[in-house]
Structure 1
Amino acid sequence: MPADRLRVDVEGRALELSNLDKVLYPKAGFTKGEVIDYYTRIAPVLLPHLRDRALTRIRYPNGVDGGSFFEKNAPAATPDWVRTENLPAPGSSKGRETIDYVVADDLPTLVWLANLAALELHTPQWRIGEQPDLMVVDLDPGAPAALQQCCQVALLMRDRLADDGIDAYPKTSGKKGMQLSCPIAGTQSADEVSGYARRIAQELERAHPKLIVSKMAKNLRPGKVFIDWSQNNAAKTTVAPYSLRAQAAPSVSTPLTWDEVEAGGRGGRPAVRQFSSAEVLDRVEEYGDLLAPLLDGGPELPAAAA
């Protein structure tokens, strides 16, 4: 076997890992071996959020400073033990009607993907064969607005959703913004969920026009937080909790406590920021999975969503 390859056994599956010393985050000196190590250690809290969901990967074979590509279809050399599902592909850029998606239900699959430099893992709001069981909104700040303003909007949205009996759970995007995820009953279509999220975003925009924008146009965003309700479209995916992001440092889409968000909205301490992979592993030791309630389902959205 070449010196840059290593055979390992992961839960009874034989895997051949390669180029473990290859630096994928040059400014941080973070290697592919460290990427695999992170995904292995975070797997207990990550895998439940990937299970039964069609997985879109963003691969960086030459590191975050090199080229990247989205990958939905299972690659040609996919091991026969990796779960794949042939599913409709709404919005496919290649005009495909269906795609053989990879489903990451177990640690061997996660390690195999990490070895392919699949740094970012993105999932839809629905499990395979079901209606959406999550409502997700992306909070995208337009400079000079930043995470402090995202925290302020997150709190406004949390309180408004609570009026409808909807619980919201915050996380950083791992880039510049935040996301809120809400467990829902899984009985309504993506169009209904998206319609409800849009209505709430518009309502908050009317109440806080200097802080919030709900329209897609980028020229409206400077100094405001865009509530992207369209994340609930059936063709869209959102970065999974605990996924790495392709930034200069190995940042992670990180679950937050509401106490942290409240402090972040005031500009106080502890400040909400983008956390590194090492920090996230420490946070899981301290908090466990702050997004575990997303796995338990939730209520139906109000009828006005229809």
Structure 2
Amino acid sequence: MTPITEVEGRRLALSNLDKVLHPASGTTKGELLHYYATVGPAFLPHLRDRPVSFLRYPDGPEGQLFFTKNPPPGTPAWVTTAPVPRSEDPRARQVVVQDLPSLMWAANLVVEFHTPQWRTDSPAVADRLVLDLDPGPPATVVECCLVARWLRERLADDGLEAFAKTSGAKGLHLLVPLEPTPSEEVSAYAKRLAVEAEADHPGLIVHRMAKALRGGKVFVDHSQNAAAKTTATPYTLRARPLPAVSAPVTWEEVEGCDDPRRLVLLMDDIAPRLERYGDLLAPLFDPDRAGALP
């Protein structure tokens, strides 16, 4: 029998609570749902007013994974959806996770949460810039941290403030709060920055995606600033054998990273970090911290 629970007045059917979803740790779906309920107050501001794309992994990371932007079949009427610009379907809508019941409904589908750099009331106008630092083996997140430090200083030269989070996989993400700026302009600036980084550190950094170029280097992926692209939302779990989280980190942690294991943050690490630091990415919502592109 599927348990029925009530979340802020909404009735939810939560299924398969004993199912193991992260096999390396034995993490069950019930534990996953508890995680999202616990971190909801920090997670929801990063989801609110942004269309969500879901990477579903209902049978764990070794099962079928599928990416969807459309509201899944059976989406409750009380879950917010919003029109989004898509060339292939001008009537397209996507889920917008505005509250805890919607978050728990989505989490019950077993998904990664991915969001764009813009909000539903201003499509293709970004309020943040993202750089995805992806290491090519044998490089690791340690090399990503070196690149992040250089990028942080370079962004500061342009009056922009960077914040870091783990990708939840192998790399690191940098997020920069912006005054509302057309996504095309943000994309062009991010690409210039990646090209400049490679020119300054050709033995460490590459700005092109071709895997043949990336061995032992850090790929500075600037492409996620395009209006059609999304990035793993802060605090989302990733479809990995361990319940790894795309989690905010301090610059002290970035500067002191000499072992890749130090920046592997798992589900059980997040609540204590929130108690200690609060949301390290809260400045993204402060208009006084938003910068203008040069």
**Secondary structure of the corresponding residue to residue 215 of structure 1:** coil
What CA deviation, in whole Å up to 9, does each residue of 1:52-71 have, x standing for no partner? 00000111121221101112
Quote the residue 2:96 is aligned against.
103
What CA deviation, in whole Å up to 9, does each residue of 1:252-277 have, x standing for no partner? 0010100111111xx27x96422100
Normalising by structure 2, report the TM-score.
0.96
**Secondary structure of the corresponding residue to residue 185 of structure 1:** strand
What CA deviation, in whole Å up to 9, does each residue of 1:44-84 have, x standing for no partner? 10000000000001111212211011121112211111001
Quote the residue 1:28 is aligned against.
25
Quote the residue 1:75 is aligned against.
72
Q: 2:158 aligns with which of 151, 156, 164?
A: 164
Structure 1 unmatched ranges of 5 or more: none
Q: CA deviation at 1:96?
A: 2.8
Distance 1:197 1:229 in 2: 5
Q: After the TM superposition, which of the residue ranges 49-58 and 292-301 deviates more from structure 2?
A: 292-301
Residue 124 (str. 1) matches residue 116 (str. 2): yes
Q: 2:62 aligns with which of 60, 65, 72?
A: 65
Identical pairs, percent: 52
Q: CA deviation at 1:24?
A: 1.1
Q: 2:232 aligns with which of 226, 233, 239?
A: 239
Distance 1:195 1:167 in 2: 18
**Secondary structure of the corresponding residue to residue 278 of structure 1:** helix
Which aligned pairs between 1:1-306 and structure 2 lie closer than 5 A?
2=1, 5-89=2-86, 95-118=88-111, 120-130=112-122, 131-186=125-180, 188-264=181-257, 267=258, 272-297=262-287, 298-302=290-294
Q: After the TM superposition, which of the residue ranges 47-56 and 68-77 deviates more from structure 2?
A: 68-77
**Secondary structure of the corresponding residue to residue 196 of structure 1:** helix
Q: CA deviation at 1:282?
A: 1.3
Distance 2:268 2:160 in 1: 32
> Contact 1:13–1:108 (CA<8 Å) still a contact in 2?
yes
**Secondary structure of the corresponding residue to residue 132 of structure 1:** strand
Distance 2:127 2:217 in 1: 29
Q: CA deviation at 1:159?
A: 0.1
> Contact 2:116–2:229 (CA<8 Å) still a contact in 1?
yes
Distance 1:23 1:98 in 2: 37
Q: CA deviation at 1:87?
A: 1.4
Q: CA deviation at 1:230?
A: 0.8
Distance 1:127 1:152 in 2: 31
Distance 2:136 2:73 in 1: 40
> Contact 1:125–1:232 (CA<8 Å) still a contact in 2?
yes
**Secondary structure of the corresponding residue to residue 281 of structure 1:** helix
> Contact 1:88–1:97 (CA<8 Å) still a contact in 2?
yes
> Contact 1:57–1:122 (CA<8 Å) still a contact in 2?
yes
Amino acid paired to 1:38: Y
Alignment length (residue pairs): 290
Amino acid paired to 1:288: G
